[in-house]
Each structure stands twice: as structure tokens, then as C-alpha cells.
């Protein structure tokens, strides 16, 4: 049952040749039937919330004199470092490395109203968790049950090494919060953070991608290899394959309008290639967070990151 509460982004690397790199961003284990059921639930939950008026957003005016008129949705981050030794290779992260990750995340979400603010950092020396936690392992349940903090508005991030060398991360959908609050956090490979050892995948964009799932986004490509929309977002063109490396252009469904979203954070291209969310994806993240996470929406205090 709990397995259903994940988008498990395990390695699919064996299924294809990877000429450009050694990593696979993540893989959604849901099939299209399951995703359509989830989408039906989302549509139904949204309609019910709108009908009952419970979707009304909490808007708080800034109490700071320097507050701007820009709107922010603050997300408190609890960053959990799992390590096996007090070295970068052993998974240890300095306060600066954590803040660099938060800064990168804010930069990547610049086009949205979300602002990520580090609330706390925890450090746990646990060789078993560091090396063996994976999306479908009971160890990840142990880890999260012990470390998860906050509520649906809190982003819990766990950095581990993963047993599969090529896997970079996995994340839950917002809909699953009610079912298992302790499970509501994204898990990423420690070396995918900015400046980490995962060459080609070390600008922090794995976290950006997983947080996209955490805020309700699906992959831009069809995971069954079909030219059929997969992500329920109308401004990402239909795409039948994920992208590797960073091609100059790609059109996997050339009979359908639009080229592949090779620069979209929800594709699998290398970090250097990923630069954008579309307006449709941003609207979906805002709507899903209103519905399932109740993230407050108010004016941005002057000292919050990446205004303007």
C-alpha cells in the first residue's frame, strides 16, 4: 500500500544505452491507468474544494516596512543529511553546502511564487540508511518516520547515496500527504547537489525536478513511449521519449505540434540543459499546493530570496 504513495524514481538505466552520462534522473513507476485515476481524484478534489469555498487562499499582508507587492508562497525546508563519514564523499554536508542548494532551488523556481527558506538542518550518521535507502525499501520508512518534521507545507529533503549507483532521486505526490504524512519528503543523491560529484548532474536540478513532483508535476514525456499527453499540462508538447544529454533539438512526436521540452526541469536532460517550467506547469504547481499543501500566499518580505 505504501508503495502506492510514491513516485519512485529508480534507475531505468539498464533499459537503454546512456551515451552522454552515467545517471538517470528518476523514473515514475505509475502506469497511465494509475495516473489517470490520480488525475481524476485531483479534478474531483479541486471541484469539491471550489464548491465548498475551502480553497480560499490565505493572504497575509507583509509586516515588514520594506515588503514588496510581489506575491510569495513560502515553503519551509527541513534538510536531513544522512552520512556514513564526516567527508563530502561520505555524504556529509556543511551548512554552506545546504544553503547553496536552497539558493539554487530558489533560482530555478524564480518564475513561480514559491520561495524556499531553510528552517532546519539535521545530520544523522547511519551507514545503512546512507547506502541502502531506496524508494521501495522499508529502510526509507524507518528513516522518514524518525526524521520527518512539520506538516504538508514543509519540504523535507533527505540526502543519501542509494544502492543503485545511477539513481538520483524520488518524490511523492501532494495527494498522498493525507495517507502517510511521515512519507511526504523528497530523497536525492547527495552528490547531485551544486558542486557535487555527480558530473553532469551536479547543479542541484535533481532536487528541482523532485520538488516539481512534490508540487504536483509529472514528467513531460510519455513513459509508455506513446505520442499521448502524459502530464495533464497543455503547454508542454506531447513527447514520447525522455531526453539524454543536451541535444540542440528533439521532436519525438513529429506528427504533433511542438518540439520536445528538452530544457524543461521535468525532462531527464543533463543539469546544464534544464532551465524552465512552463506557465501551465507553474499554474498546476500553484493549484496543487493550494489544494493539498495549503501553502500560504502573501506579500514577499524584502529580504526573501530572488525577488524581481
Q: Which residues bind ligand NAG (CB under 6 A)?
A: 22, 31, 33-34, 124, 126, 128-129, 139, 142, 199-200
- Minimum distance from CB of 210 to ligand NAG (Å)? 20
Query: Do 261 and 237 contact (CB within 8 A), yes or no?
Result: yes
Residues that bind Ca ion (CB under 5 A): 229, 231, 233, 236, 251, 253, 256, 258
244 annotated active-site: no
Residues 21-80 that bind Zn ion (CB under 5 A): 26
C-alpha to C-alpha distance for 30 and 171, rounded to whole angstroms: 12
Q: Does 118 bind Zn ion (CB under 5 A)?
A: no
Q: Residue 50: in which H helix or E strand, if any?
A: helix 32-52
C-alpha to C-alpha distance for 306 and 205, rounded to whole angstroms: 17
C-alpha to C-alpha distance for 85 and 91, rounded to whole angstroms: 7
The grid coordinates listed for 147 are 526524521
Q: How many residues at the interface with Zn ion, by CB under 5 A?
A: 2
Q: Which C-beta is closer to ligand NAG: that of 76 or that of 137?
A: 137
Q: Which C-beta is closer to Ca ion: that of 100 or that of 229?
A: 229
What are φ and ψ of residue 167, in 5° steps?
-75, 140
Q: Quick one: the chain helix, strand, coil %, rounded to 5?
A: 30, 15, 55
Question: Out of ligand NAG, Ca ion, Zn ion, none, which partner does residue 70 contact, by CB within 5 to 8 A per kind?
Answer: none
- Minimum distance from CB of 220 to ligand NAG (Å)? 21
Which residue among the candidates 50, 84, 113, 210 is catalytic per the annotation? 210
Binding span for Zn ion by CB under 5 A among 5-13, 104-112, 252-260, 284-292: 5-13
The grid coordinates listed for 42 are 485531483
With CB atoms as reference, the residue minimizing the distance to Ca ion is 236
Residue 48 β-bridge partners: none
Dihedral angle sign, alpha carbons of residues 183, 188, 193, 196: positive
Question: Out of Ca ion, Zn ion, ligand NAG, none, which partner does residue 33 contact, by CB within 5 to 8 A per kind?
Answer: ligand NAG
Active site residues: 210
Amino acid at each position: 500500500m505504501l508503495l502506492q504513495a510514491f513516485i519512485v524514481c529508480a534507475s531505468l538505466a539498464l533499459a537503454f544505452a546512456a551515451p552522454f552520462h552515467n545517471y538517470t534522473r528518476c523514473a515514475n513507476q505509475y502506469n497511465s491507468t494509475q495516473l489517470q485515476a490520480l488525475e481524476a481524484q485531483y479534478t474531483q478534489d479541486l471541484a469539491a474544494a471550489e464548491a465548498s469555498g475551502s480553497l480560499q487562499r490565505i493572504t497575509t499582508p507583509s509586516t515588514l516596512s520594506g515588503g514588496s507587492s510581489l506575491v510569495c508562497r513560502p515553503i519551509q525546508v527541513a534538510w536531513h543529511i544522512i552520512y556514513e563519514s564526516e567527508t563530502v564523499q561520505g555524504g556529509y554536508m556543511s551548512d554552506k553546502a545546504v544553503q547553496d542548494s536552497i539558493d539554487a532551488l530558489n533560482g530555478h523556481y524564480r518564475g513561480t511564487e514559491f520561495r524556499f527558506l531553510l528552517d532546519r538542518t539535521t545530520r544523522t550518521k547511519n551507514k545503512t540508511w546512507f547506502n541502502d535507502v531506496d524508494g521501495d525499501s522499508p529502510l526509507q520508512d524507518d528513516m522518514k518516520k524518525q526524521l520527518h518534521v512539520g506538516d504538508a507545507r514543509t519540504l523535507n529533503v533527505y540526502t543519501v547515496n542509494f544502492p543503485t549507483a545511477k539513481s538520483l532521486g524520488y518524490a511523492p505526490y501532494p495527494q498522498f500527504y493525507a495517507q502517510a504524512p511521515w512519507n511526504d519528503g523528497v530523497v536525492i543523491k547527495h552528490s547531485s547537489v551544486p558542486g557535487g560529484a555527480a558530473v553532469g548532474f551536479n547543479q542541484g536540478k535533481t532536487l528541482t525536478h523532485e520538488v516539481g513532483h512534490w508540487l504536483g508535476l509529472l514528467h513531460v514525456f510519455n513513459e509508455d513511449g506513446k505520442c499521448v499527453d502524459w502530464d495533464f499540462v497543455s503547454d508542454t508538447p506531447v513527447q514520447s521519449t525522455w531526453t539524454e544529454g543536451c541535444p540542440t533539438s528533439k521532436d519525438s512526436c513529429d506528427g504533433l505540434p511542438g518540439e520536445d521540452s528538452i530544457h524543461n526541469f521535468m525532462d531527464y536532460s543533463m543539469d546544464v540543459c534544464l532551465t524552465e517550467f512552463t506557465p501551465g506547469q507553474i499554474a498546476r504547481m500553484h493549484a496543487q499546493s493550494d489544494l493539498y499543501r495549503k501553502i500560504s500566499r502573501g506579500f514577499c518580505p524584502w529580504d526573501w530570496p530572488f525577488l524581481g
